[in-house]
Structure formats: structure tokens, C-alpha cells
């Protein structure tokens, strides 16, 4: 009788373990392949702002003309909810293999929310109609930054937004075109400017170039979060121009006083899955303090 009862208990335990394992597997699979839009938040402290002062940036990279919800409503309302002081579009917002519909819907939706700044990514150059593409952005009131900078005042805070052209601009220039030299001409004068200085630069792996200048914050995209991630173990398996196990797959990186934030991208690709890597909107709060 005792043996029979023990047998029943062991069988029940086995059943519970199998059920728990199956449940965990379902949960992990769901988490791994969840591709809904998420908000990733960063706080950047700076002594350039007084204690109690702050401003908020929304960073969008690598949309690749994807449409979220009816007429881009999901993405636009998520951006609006963040109440940003500026929206930064850091390249590959358009895609060379897709119509511009998703871009136009986004720009129409966000034009009244806050000032919008944009720099090119490689895919916009691959459209082979870069000037028309930039004009499309301008038509929606976007400030297109072509190796130049602009000022924005938020309350009493002075912010400088600079933007560098994607290196694929070289496809359309003379062989002697010096991408790094153009940056130097554009951004060395920043040393005499005051304010919190932000650089929009599509490619994160070129951080050593950006570090030569007087920026407080650099924002990038391009790496798509390394496409496949294993939380706590692998921050991305592969990224364009960085290869396997990319150093700048996504997240926050510190280089002395400079903070570099790399978006994991807002794209939702159909062919290469994003694993543990949902498309994101990065929200950056810059706050006064040390």
C-alpha cells in the first residue's frame, strides 16, 4: 500500500515538473520572439545643467520605413506619450527597398510634437536619390543636419545638435573626398560653443572619430541590437560593419566624460528574426547633477 502511494506521488511530481518546464519554455519562446515596440530609458547626468534642470530626447534609428499600427499611429502615439523636447532620427529611417510611405506617415505624425533632427544612414544613400529624400524630410519641418550643427533652447538650457553624414556619402563624391576631414571642418569650431552638445551619427563603430570633438552625448543606430541577443550573456551576435559579437550592438557606453547611446533600432524585419531584441524607442533624460 505504501509502495503504491509512493509511486503515485512520484508520478504526480514528474507531471508537475514536465508542466512547469513546458510553461517556462513557452514563456521563454514568447519573450525571445516578442517583436512589439518597447521603450528603453536612459538617464544621462551632466554638470552642464543646474540641479533640477532636465530635458528629454526621443531617439529613433533604423525604422526602415516600417509601419506600426494604422498609418503609423502606434509609433506616433508612443513618441507623443514621452513628451520629448526633441526627436532625433539617426539614419536608415527610409529603406532602399521599400516605399517612403512609413517615413512620410511618421514625419506627418511627429511634426507638431517637438523639433525633429535627422541625419542620413547608409540605406538612404542606397536609394540613389538622396537630395530628394532629404527634401522630403524638410517638407515636414525636419532639420536635416549635413555635417553641421544647430542650437535649441529648452527653458534656460542651451542644447547643440550636430549631425554627421553617413560615410556612404562617398558613393556620390570624388575619390579624394575626405569624410573625416569634413567632420573636422564642421565640428572643431564647437569648442568655442557653450551648451550641452549632442552628435547624431548613424554608425556606432566610428566612435573613435566622434571622440575627437567636444561632444557630451553621441547617439547612433545601425547595429540593430546585434539581431540575436542572449540577455546577460551575449549583447548581440552580428552587426553590419562590426561583424560577429559587435562591441557596440546597443546600449550605453562611456568614453570618459562622453556618453554614447546606441539604439537597438526601430525596425521589424521579416526575414532575419530579432531574438530577445524587440524594436525600441530610446528615451534619454539629460539631467543636471554629477
User: Where does this chain bind Fe ion (CB under 5 A)?
Assistant: 92, 121-122, 222
Nearest approach, Cβ of residue 19 and Fe ion (Å): 44
Q: Taking CB positions, which residue lies at the least distance from Fe ion?
A: 222
Nearer Cβ to Fe ion (66/222): 222
Q: Which is nearer to Fe ion, 222 or 274 (CB)?
A: 222
Closest distance between Fe ion and the C-beta of residue 166, in Å? 7
As given in the structure block, the three cell numbers for residue 97 are 527597398
The nearer residue to Fe ion, 84 or 204, going by C-beta atoms, is: 204
Supply the minimum distance, in Å, between the C-beta of residue 121 and Fe ion. 4
* Closer to Fe ion by Cβ: residue 122 or 259: 122
- Quick one: 121 or 279, whose CB is closer to Fe ion? 121
For the bound state, the minimum distance from the C-beta of residue 216 to Fe ion, rounded and expressed in Å, comes to 24
Q: Which is nearer to Fe ion, 48 or 134 (CB)?
A: 134
Amino acid at each position: 500500500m505504501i509502495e503504491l502511494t509512493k509511486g503515485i506521488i512520484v508520478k504526480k511530481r514528474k507531471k508537475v515538473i514536465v508542466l512547469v518546464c513546458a510553461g517556462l519554455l513557452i514563456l521563454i519562446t514568447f519573450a525571445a520572439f516578442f517583436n512589439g515596440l518597447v521603450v528603453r530609458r536612459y538617464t544621462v547626468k551632466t554638470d552642464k545643467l543646474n540641479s533640477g534642470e532636465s530635458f528629454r530626447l526621443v531617439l529613433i534609428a533604423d525604422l526602415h520605413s516600417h509601419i506600426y499600427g494604422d498609418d503609423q499611429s502606434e509609433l506616433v502615439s508612443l513618441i507623443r506619450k514621452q513628451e520629448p523636447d526633441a526627436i532625433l532620427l539617426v539614419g536608415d529611417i527610409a529603406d532602399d527597398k521599400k516605399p517612403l510611405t512609413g517615413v512620410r506617415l511618421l514625419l506627418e505624425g511627429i511634426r507638431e510634437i517637438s523639433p525633429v533632427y535627422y541625419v542620413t544612414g547608409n540605406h538612404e544613400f542606397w536609394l540613389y536619390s538622396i537630395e530628394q529624400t532629404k527634401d522630403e524630410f524638410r517638407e515636414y519641418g525636419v532639420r536635416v543636419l549635413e555635417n553641421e550643427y544647430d542650437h535649441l533652447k529648452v527653458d534656460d538650457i542651451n542644447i547643440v545638435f550636430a549631425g554627421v553624414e553617413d560615410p556612404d556619402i562617398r558613393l556620390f563624391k570624388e575619390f579624394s573626398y575626405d569624410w573625416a576631414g569634413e567632420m573636422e571642418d564642421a565640428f572643431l569650431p564647437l569648442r568655442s560653443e557653450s551648451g550641452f552638445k549632442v552628435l547624431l551619427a548613424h554608425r556606432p563603430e566610428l566612435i573613435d572619430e566622434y571622440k575627437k570633438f567636444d561632444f557630451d552625448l553621441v547617439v547612433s543606430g545601425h547595429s540593430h541590437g546585434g539581431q540575436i541577443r542572449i540577455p546577460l550573456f551575449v549583447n548581440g551576435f552580428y552587426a553590419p560593419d562590426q561583424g560577429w559579437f559587435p562591441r557596440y550592438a546597443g546600449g550605453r557606453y562611456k568614453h570618459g566624460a562622453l556618453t554614447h547611446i546606441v539604439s537597438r533600432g526601430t525596425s521589424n524585419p521579416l526575414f532575419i528574426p530579432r531574438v530577445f531584441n524587440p524594436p525600441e524607442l530610446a528615451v534619454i533624460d539629460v539631467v543636471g547633477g554629477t
